[in-house]
Amino acid sequence: MKIENALNMFKENKVGSFKLQNNTVLVVTPNAMALRYYDEGYRDSTVKQDILAARIGVIVIGNSSALEYARRLDRRGVVTDEQLYLSEQVPMIPFTVLKQAELNINTYREIDCGESETLLRRESRTRLLESQLDELESDSNVVQLTKEKAESDSYGERKGHKRWNVSFMRKQHFAGARLFEVNNKRFLLDVDRVELKHGIINPFLVELQSATVSTVAEAYESLKPVDVKVAEQQGKTVKRQGEWFFIPVSEFEAKRCQKLADKRIAEVKASGENRFGIERANRGVLRAGRNRPNNVDTMIEIDGDFFVKGTVSHSGREHKDMTLKGFHRAVPNTSQTSWTIEGDID
At 281 the pLDDT is 79
Q: With residue 42 as reference, give the H or E element that holds it.
A: none
At 67 the pLDDT is 81
Distance, CA of 187 to CA of 209 (rounded, Å): 9
3-state SS of the chain: helix, strand, coil percent to 5?
25, 40, 35
Mean pLDDT in each 10-residue stretch from start to end of the chain (346 residues)? 90 90 86 84 74 89 83 64 88 88 90 91 89 88 90 57 88 90 93 88 89 93 95 95 93 94 86 73 80 86 93 80 94 85 69
- The one-letter code for the residue type at 325 is K
The strand ranges marked E within the chain are 16-19, 24-28, 32-40, 45-56, 59-63, 92-93, 109-113, 117-128, 142-149, 164-174, 178-182, 185-191, 203-207, 239-241, 244-248, 284-286, 294-302, 305-314, 322-332, 337-340
At 156 the pLDDT is 47
At 44 the pLDDT is 66
Asked if 346 and 94 touch (Cβ cutoff 8 Å), the reply is yes
Strands ordered across the beta sheet of 117-128: 117-128, 164-174, 142-149
DSSP conformation letters of 161-172: ---EEEEEEEEE
